[in-house]
Structure formats: structure tokens, C-alpha cells
Amino acid sequence: MNKKTKRILLPVYAALLLAFLYLPMAVMFLFSFNSGRSTLSLEGFGFHWYAELMNNARARDALWNTVILAVSAAAASVILGVLAAVGMDRLRRKWLRSAAQSITNLPMMNPEIVTGISMMLLFVSISQLLQIKQALGFHTMLLAHTTFCLPYVVLSVSPKLRQMDSHLSEAAQDLGCSPAQAFFRVIVPNIATGIAAAFLLAFTISLDDFVVSNFVGQGFETLPRFIYDQTKKRVTPDMYALSTITFAVIFILLILSNLLQASSEKKRLRGTARNN
Amino acid sequence: MKNLQAKHRRSLLLNAPHLLWSIIFIVAPLLMVAIYAFRDRSGSWTLDTFRSLFTDKESALNLLFIFRSSLWYALLATAICLLLAYPLAYFMAHAGKRVQRNLMMLITVPMWMNFLICTYSWIAILSERGGLLNLLLARLHLPEQTILYTPKAVVLGMVYNYLPFMILPIYTVLSKLQPSLVEAAQDLGATRWQVLRKITLPLSVPGVISGVTMVFVPSVSTFYISKKLGGNKNQLIGDLIEAKFTTFSDRNGGAALSLILMVMVLLSMVFMRRLSKDDDGAYVAG
């Protein structure tokens, strides 16, 4: 590739692809300010649908449910996942380790719809056995979300464990720590960044999940389930308002993290030559 | 010796919670799918669920058609994603640090948006009457297009939703590729095209493989995209499974279909892995 194509053609191409990715967002942004009910033709400008959304009790409940679920599922999957990562790291038998890994990774490989259906069948059968009337709800959502977040937690914690000097926790124990103390005082601080990243990742995955929730979440409405229900009929622009707000929040968060990253990089690069 | 044994026991103990969890909430549910698939409503073991899926005159023809279109659309969407994503990933990997970071951010944002509402809003773009695309085409004096409720819209929805999942893994691999390898090839007289074909492409195969699976698996099993953008005529296997569970409450049939879908996906992943290994071998030999 010569310099010219590199300088002109590729940026243009990138811009076109990004335009494709952002087209729906632009449409939603535009129509969220529509004063009419339509999502096809603009009738006027107004904040009517934002006000509508703020007054929508069902949407508020759904948001609250989503956040509670995401926080609990992230916490549960981080606890389980950190234990799993540390445990698998110590398994010396290769086949045992790879077997444990493949089982934990299954929800990541399997089509989501299969994961959702399989869990629903389990929950329904168990509650039939125990003669529980309300088979599905918050508890089944929590169990399911924790399960499919687990592999992502392991994936973000394991590399940190591998980077860590494995003799450190042994040294701590030689110096009189109990295994539990060694875990909390030596291992956890060493992999703290991995744990934080895992929590955030699990939180966002849970927040965004629709397919599994669709099957195991009857009676517990999260935002994705609420949106699904809304899109069964003709959507009103308040859903677009919701989407626009989400977009703004995500964008601001990402820009903040980007700036943080940039400033830490600058610090690292200060004094050395820039290599572009 | 005793110490070692204790250590071994402790490591097994550490693994107990998540193994137990995985067996209860991952393995057992999958067994439940198999149990439901091989049983009838009354709970006795049978192969009838599968047999009726494939022999009932109406549903069998329909089912074959649905399977074929699911596979075909997903493959098409995956191929398009790969073709679109590779140049962008390549460009990103060779851009400056700041450009890389900003592009990375711009590509991640859509991944975090709710895919239901984004998919739905494509209706406003593609809609025949009053859709933005056709308004634009009319302005440009070009013929109007019918896309919504055709297979084109379904594939477009898949490409739109899963394109970032193709870009990111390829970008990751390409950005870690050592420039010294490319320089060495150039020093030895390789043209740019040869470098791309013999160094960059083969070394990016792992990224391509994970991108392909991350696009293919959700595409082949989707039910929302096809329902919203494909209308009633373009049902996919996911739609059928979802309908079995929600509207028809035919859990056995749904479980049987899920089992088939799962086997299909697992087989295609094994096939992909085999393919990538063969590739490596070929490049080492050549």
C-alpha cells in the first residue's frame, strides 16, 4: 500500500464504517426530540418524550431492577470467579485444569438462546419437584447472570495471576500467614486491577443481557426485557429518548476512561521520544 | 510429602465451589435440554420429537428451509463482517496511538448499546414508505429499494450488530504483530503484497478465527433480528425455538431444536479449529 492510499483511502473507509455503526443512534437521537408520536416522520422539536420517560414508573422500576441485578450478579460472579481463577491456577494436572476451564467457558461458546433455555428448563423442573409456584424471578435471574458472567471474570483475573510471582503467597505462609491471610493480604492486592476490571465487565454484561433474561426472568422486569416488550408493538419515541440517554452516559464514561488512560500514558512517555 | 498432599487437597478445595456451581448451573441445564428432547409430554423416553420434526410433511419442509436460511444468512453475515472489518482493523493497528485509542472507543460504544432498540431503529431507516434510505434515494433520483422484511434486512441487521466483534479481535492480533517480522520480510525483498499475504494474513488467523466465531454463533442463533427486520417470511432457527417455548409451549420440540442448534454450532467450531491448524501447517511448510 502506498502512502497516498494510506493517508486518504483508509481514513475515509473508517469514517464510512463508523457512520454505518452510528446511523441508528443518530436516528434515535433525532426522533427522541420529535413532538409527534411517530418514529418515521419529524413533526416538531420538543422534550416531550424525555418528560414522558421520566414519569414512566415502569421504566424506572425496570432500571432499578437492572442495576440491583447487575450489582449482585457482578459481586457473586467475582467472588466465585476469583476463587475459580486462583484454584485453576494451582491445579497441576493439565487435563483437570483444561476440563475445569472448558466447563466454565461453555456459556461463552454456546449460543445464548441455548444457555437461556437450558437454565429455564432446570429452574422449571426444580420448582416442579419442590412444588414452588413462582418458578422464575429475581433468584433465577441472579443465578443465570452469575453463571454467564463467570467465564469473563476468570478471563480477566487469570492473566494477572500468571503475571504474579507464585512464590509470594508461599513466602507469606512461611512467614506465618494462614492460607486465608495469604490470600487476602498477598494475592488479592496483587490482582486488584484484574478484579476491578472483572467486576465492571460482569456488571456491563449483566446490564445488557436480553436473551438469557428473556427465558429465565419471567416476573422480574429488567430494562432489556422492558424494551423488548415495548418493541413488540409500535415503539413510541420515549424508547429513543431512553436510548439517547444511555448513549450519552456510555460516551461520557468512555471518554473519561480514555482521558485517564491518555494521561497515564503521557506520564510514562514523558522524557522519551514519541514513536508514531 | 505430607505438605505437598495438603497443598494438593487445598487446591482441589479451592476449585470445589465453582466446579460445583458449573455442574449445577451449566452441565445440569444442558442435560435437561437433552432429557426434554428425548422425552414426550408424559415423561416417557422417545425419539418421536425428532422424528416428527423431520417427517411431518409441513414442518419438515419448513424446518429444512429454516435451517438452510439460518446457516446461509449467518455465513453471509460473517463473511461480510470479515471483509468489512479486516481493512479497518489493519488501518487501526497501523495508526498512531491516539487514533487507535479513539477508534477503539468509537467501536466499543455501539457494543454497549441495547441491541434491541438499535435493531428496531433500522426499521425507520429501511422502511419502504417514509424510510430514511428511500427518502435519500428519491432525492438522488435513484430507484427505491425494498429491503425491510427481506433476507437482505436480516443479514444487514446481523452485520450491524456483530461487526464490532469482528473488528476488535483482528485489531488486537494485528496490533501485537511484531513490526520486525514485516521489516525482515521487506529486507529480504518481499513486496508489500507478499508481506501481506505471507506474513500479516497468516499471523492474524487467530484473531480472524475468534472474530468469525463471535459473529457466526450469535448470528446463526438470533431470533430478534430476524423477527423485527425479516418479518414473518424470514424465520430463523432461533425464532422457531423461541416460538416453541413462548407461544406453542412445546418444550420438548423446543429442546430438540436447541440440541440440534447446539450440535451444529459445536461442530462448526471444531471445523474452524481444524481449519486454522491446517492453515498453520501449510504456512510452515510453504
- What is the end-to-end Cα distance of chain A in Å, rounded? 18
Q: What are phi and psi of B69, to 5 degrees?
A: -70, -35
B5 to chain A nearest CA, in Å?
Answer: 12
- DSSP-based helix, strand, coil % in chain B, nearest 5: 80, 0, 20
pLDDT of residue B159: 97
pTM to 2 decimal places: 0.89
Give me B249's grid cell.
Answer: 409451549
Residues of A whose CB is below 8 A from B87: 10, 13
Residues of A whose CB is below 8 A from B26: 103-104, 106-107, 147
Q: What is the largest CA-CA distance in chain B?
A: 84
Of the candidates B32, B102, B117, the beta carbon closest to that of A227 is on B117
Per-residue pLDDT of chain B (286 residues; tens, 9 = 90+): 556 677 777 777 888 888 899 999 999 999 999 999 998 888 788 888 888 887 776 666 688 889 999 999 999 999 999 999 999 999 899 888 888 988 998 999 999 899 999 999 998 899 887 788 888 888 888 888 888 899 999 999 999 999 999 999 999 999 988 888 888 888 888 888 888 888 888 889 989 999 999 999 999 999 999 999 998 888 899 999 999 898 878 889 999 999 999 999 988 888 887 877 655 444 433 2
pLDDT of residue B56: 72
CB A214 within 8 A of CB A228: yes
pLDDT of residue B152: 94
Residues of B whose CB is below 8 A from A30: none
Q: Closest by alpha carbon to A213, among A150, A120, A151? A: A120
Domain ranges of chain B: 1-37, 48-285
Tell me if ipTM is over 0.85: yes
Residue keyed to cell 425419539: B47
Q: How many CB atoms are located within 10 Å of the residue B133 CB?
A: 18
CA A161, CA A157: separation in Å to the nearest integer? 7
The 8-class DSSP code of residue A80 comes to H
CA B249, CA B50: separation in Å to the nearest integer? 16
CB A242 within 8 A of CB A166: no
pLDDT of residue A41: 72
pLDDT along chain A (276 residues), means of 10: 70 93 93 82 82 90 95 96 89 83 86 95 92 89 96 91 83 84 87 90 93 92 93 88 92 85 73 49
pLDDT of residue A242: 92
pLDDT of residue A35: 82
Cβ–Cβ gap B23/A103 under 8 Å: yes
CA A66 to chain centre: 12
**CATH 1.10.3720.10 fits domain B48-285:** yes
B19 to chain A nearest CA, in Å?
Answer: 7
pLDDT of residue B1: 52
Cβ–Cβ gap A83/B14 under 8 Å: yes
Cβ–Cβ gap B18/A114 under 8 Å: no
Q: Which long-range contacts (CB under 8 A, 24 or more apart) does B126-135 make?
A: B126/B153, B126/B156, B126/B229, B127/A40, B130/A40, B130/A41, B131/A40, B132/A27
Q: Which residues pair with A71 in a beta bridge?
A: none
pLDDT of residue B239: 92
Q: Which residues contact A127 (CB under 8 A, 6 or more apart)?
A: A133, A134, A135
pLDDT of residue A233: 85
Q: What is the largest CA-CA distance in chain A?
A: 75
CA A120, CA B249: separation in Å to the nearest integer? 13
Residues of A whose CB is below 8 A from B113: 25, 243, 246-247, 250
pLDDT of residue A274: 46
Give me A126's grid cell.
Answer: 426444580
The 8-class DSSP code of residue B199 comes to I
Residues of A whose CB is below 8 A from B25: 119, 122, 143-144, 146-147
Domains of chain A, with CATH numbers? Answer: 60-236 (1.10.3720.10)
pLDDT of residue A206: 94
